[in-house]
Amino acid sequence: MNTEVSLNVRTPSLLGDYLRARRQEIAPEAVGIQRSTGRNRLGLSRAEVADLANISVAYYDLIERGHDLHPSGSVIDGLARGLGLTADERAHLHDLATGAKPRRQAEPEELTDELEELLDSIDPNPAYVVGARWDVLGSNHTARQLFSDWEGKRTKRERNLLWFYCCDPAARSLFVDWEQEAADQLALFREAYARHPDDPSFKRILDEIFKSNPAAVDWWERHDNDPKRGRTKRIRLASGEVIKLNQLVLLVSDTPDIRVISYFADADGDLDDVNFDDEE
């Protein structure tokens, strides 16, 4: 029986994805909205963006969810003003709304000596550096023991963090909540994709993942998925012991697409006493 997987996945709405990514990055205070007591939301809600742009919530919801709409120039200008976009960002938003064609691919990324030294200094806490397309640019000893030896005998595709979460059998064993973790990573990758609509390599990565793991197609289509950044992850060690690690993501100021991702035990935990080596 032929079980060939169809890759006819709906083309992501770059306009909607970009708007979603931007609103989730903007603090309410930055656009004049007072944060209510107990509010933990990192960014703006759809209703808040619609109010700032002077359009209905229902209409904004349709735009962000990628329905076949063509917002007018005045609507795009209102969204740009509401989100506080710069002139270049406003022009980019108009390009997305009019269906501008892909133009270029991002430059190759490399691990700097300074970042390599930072990774080593963080040990024994696991840490790695990823680029715009989530390629793992470098990792420290503990990260290679716990997650994957990305710098070992692996193909370029396998040295990608999204591939690791969605397609590597080791991730399924490592994360107690593997499916939720993988779906969250896809939702976050959608935001990265929206910031780089001119780079065709993002779609190539997705096509490879969808072909290797068909379930990822359903995860990608979950527009209502709202992943928590800095989620505490439950890790299953080779010994069977389950530990909890808090994730910390650091952005490099002069190259914000490059991130340092590190993990720390709870206040009462101590990674010095944990054996991350495989037990064979």
pLDDT tens digit string along 117-134? Answer: 999 999 999 999 999 899
Report the percent of the chain where pLDDT is more than 70. 80
Q: Where are the domains of the chain?
A: 14-97, 113-273
Tell me which of 219 and 138 has the higher pLDDT.
Answer: 138
Which pLDDT does position 246 carry in this prediction? Answer: 92
The band of 9, judged by pLDDT with boundaries at 50, 70 and 90, is very low
Q: Do 129 and 119 touch, CB atoms closer than 8 A?
A: yes
Q: What is the mean pLDDT of residues 229-233?
A: 72
Query: What average pLDDT does the chain have?
Result: 81
**Who's near 56: CB < 8 A, 6+ residues apart?**
50
CATH fold of 14-97 reads 434 Repressor (Amino-terminal Domain) (1.10.260)
pLDDT computed for residue 194 by the predictor: 78
Measured CA distances, 212 to 31, 159, 164 (Å): 42, 15, 12
* 113-273 maps to CATH 3.30.450.180: yes
